[in-house]
Amino acid sequence: MKLRRRSMLKALGAYASLPLGRLLESSMAQAQSVAPPLRFIGVYHPHGVAMECYAMRPGETETTFDLNFANSSLTPFDTPASYGGRSFKNRLITFEGVDDAVAEASGTGGHGAASCLFTGSTTTGNDHNAQCESLDYYLGRTKGLGSGTQFPTLNVGVGSVGDANSDAIAHGTGGAAIRNLVDPVAVFDMVFAGLTGTTGNTVDKARAKGQSVIDFVKGDLSSLSSRLGATEKLKLTQHLDGLRELEQRITAIIPTGACQVPARPKATGNTDTALDFPKVLKWNGGDPYFDRIADVQIDLLAQAIACGLTRFATLFIDDPGKELVVDGTTLPRDAHNEIAHAYSPDSGKTAQQVLLGRLNRYYYGKIARLMQRLDEAGALDSTLIMASSDMGNPSSHSVRNLPLILAGGANGALKFGRRLKAADDCPASNPWCNPAALTPHNRVLVSICQLFGINTQTFGFAADPALITGAWPGLV
């Protein structure tokens, strides 16, 4: 027998609003094959794209293409063993010819355009202030779609808290920048505290010992009970007895990938010191630990989504600030100057193109990891990821031809496994041309709004309504 979500919420009663209620609802939904509500994650990475390592090859079509061509930056999405051996080729939509038109309209180039990416807004002032909220905030808070979760929006980052708009992708009412949560320990303590109490144990460990997950909040329940009258206490006891019985009934059929509260990260003192991260900020001692922090943040975010603690999130991945080796290619520590600004589309600059392509591959590897973790938790099918950089050609700080991708499952509402190219985009021989007509990335943002049931033809803020109006044809 399958239950509707409304029926499950009714069964949980007032308890549905508590962390454990949301945990049980998520488990029940997966056990009963009820599609969870659609979730959204916006991902940012810096330094643009080496279009030579990203664009479609001659002869490829929208649905027939190869992601593993020589020096491709997209290989993490298609089964290489070094990236988990899973293929997400059919869970991916790549775009070419999408422009950050609102950034160009306000004279915002390069890194300042980060504030335009998810707001779809022109900017003001030297700090490139956005003028409206970002997509996650708009859907999760302004439209209230995240109100049924503990965190209507969740904004995590790696390397930078986003004090400046060049480091901020999440924005609230009026365009106010929202800081990134960059410390994995603080993220864990804030997000999973309601599911772990003070034990730090996982739900699965408790189940393995024959315990009920209700025991995780025993202290909170005792505190609540002490404030209730006799009648209310009886109702609470009866309700918990019912929940415990319900939990016992569904435990045997909860899929392996259901919500699992992760272990609390340790900043220092790990058995393997390579897992330590005593510092977290870029250029302030956190650079040597960047890769480890990125992986932990990604894993925490995936579980927060899987456990129903949030539906709308952003992930800001900064410049690593450390030397990296990506598939045999050593990337210099100063990616900004030695990779991004050294890049050139000239035919004689292949080495510089490969360096940027490998840096892009590093970031796509992190996005592939996010997809893997969501898939393992049974949440990829109901999640939509939008990822992009703040520019196209980084050496010229151009905001044209962004490397924008959509990934996930989107509850079947999108046809993935496609490569989409704007009709007026540059030819393959000149990926950085200046087409007469821009293709605003706002069209993708409008399409995502419609995907979430928002009846709108506009998203963002600009003096010229043409920049923020209209969806991407045929996407939804």
Q: What is the CATH number of the domain that holds 72?
A: 3.40.720.10
pLDDT at 199 over 50: no
**In a domain? residue 122:** yes
User: Of 217, 243, 259, which one is at a domain's C-terminal end?
Assistant: 259
Asked if residue 341 and residue 229 are part of one domain, the reply reads: no
Q: How far is CA 90 from CA 24, 179, 421, in A?
A: 31, 33, 17
Q: d(Cα 386, Cα 169) in Å, to the nearest integer?
A: 12
Do both 185 and 93 map to the same domain?
A: yes
Q: Looking at residues 73-87, what average pLDDT do you find?
A: 90
Residue for token pair 């259901």: 258
d(CA 259, CA 452): 23
User: What does the pLDDT look like over 163-197, one tens digit per residue?
Assistant: 877 789 999 999 999 999 999 999 999 999 877 54
DSSP 326: E
pLDDT of the residue at 19: 54
Residue 472 counted as domain residue: no
In a domain, 475, yes or no: no
| Residue 314 dihedral angles phi and psi, to the nearest 5° | -130, 150
Reported as type and span, the H/E element at residue 363 is helix 350-376
Task: State whether 340 and 352 are in the same domain.
Answer: yes
Determine, yes or no, domain membership for 391: yes
Q: Report if residue 84 sits inside a domain.
A: yes
pLDDT (0 to 100) of residue 435: 85
Together in a domain, 234 and 318: no
Q: 209 and 128 in one domain?
A: no
For the stretch 336-395, pLDDT in tens is 999 999 999 998 899 999 999 999 999 999 999 999 999 999 999 999 999 999 999 999
Instruction: Write down the pLDDT at residue 306.
Output: 95
Domain assignment of residue 3, given as a range: 1-34+203-259
How many secondary structure helices (H) and strands (E) does the chain include? 14, 11
Same domain, 223 and 337: no
Is 124 a residue whose pLDDT tops 60?
yes
Instruction: Count structural domains, the chain.
Output: 2
Least confident interval from 38-42, 250-254, 308-312: 250-254
Query: Can you read off the two tokens belonging to residue 382?
Result: 């109901």
Tell me if 42 sits within 8 A of 134, measured CB to CB: yes
Are 195 and 218 part of one and the same domain?
Answer: no
Sign (positive/negative) of CA torsion 401, 353, 164, 324? positive
Contact 12, 21 (CB under 8 A): yes
Q: Judge whether 474 lies within some domain.
A: no
CB 285 within 8 A of CB 293: no
Q: For 231-280, what is each residue's pLDDT tens digit?
A: 777 776 776 676 666 555 544 434 445 688 899 999 999 999 989 999 99
In a domain, residue 29? The reply is yes
Same domain, yes or no, for 11 and 119? no
To the nearest whole percent, how much of the chain has pLDDT over 90? 68
Amino acid making up residue 321: G
126-152: average pLDDT: 95
Closest CA to 320 of 354, 374, 282: 282
Of 259, 276, 304, the domain-final residue:
259
Query: Is the CB of residue 42 less than 8 Å from the CB of residue 118?
Result: yes
Dihedrals phi, psi of 306, to nearest 5 degrees = -65, -35
Indicate if 104 and 215 belong to the same structural domain.
no
Domain termination site, one of 259, 277, 299: 259
Return the residue matching tokens 């899973």: 86
Q: Quick check: 157 pLDDT over 80? A: yes
Q: Cα-atom radius of gyration of the chain, to the nearest Å? A: 23
Statement to judge: residues 313 and 267 lie in one domain = yes
Residues 184 and 245 in one domain: no
Same domain, 269 and 418: yes
- Report yes or no on 476 lying in a domain: no
Task: Compute the 3-state secondary structure of the chain and give helix, strand, coil in percent, each to the nearest 5.
Answer: 40, 10, 45
How far does Cα 200 stand from its chain's mean position? 25
Mean pLDDT lowest among 86-100, 158-172, 194-208: 194-208
CA pair distance 83, 77, nearest whole angstrom: 8
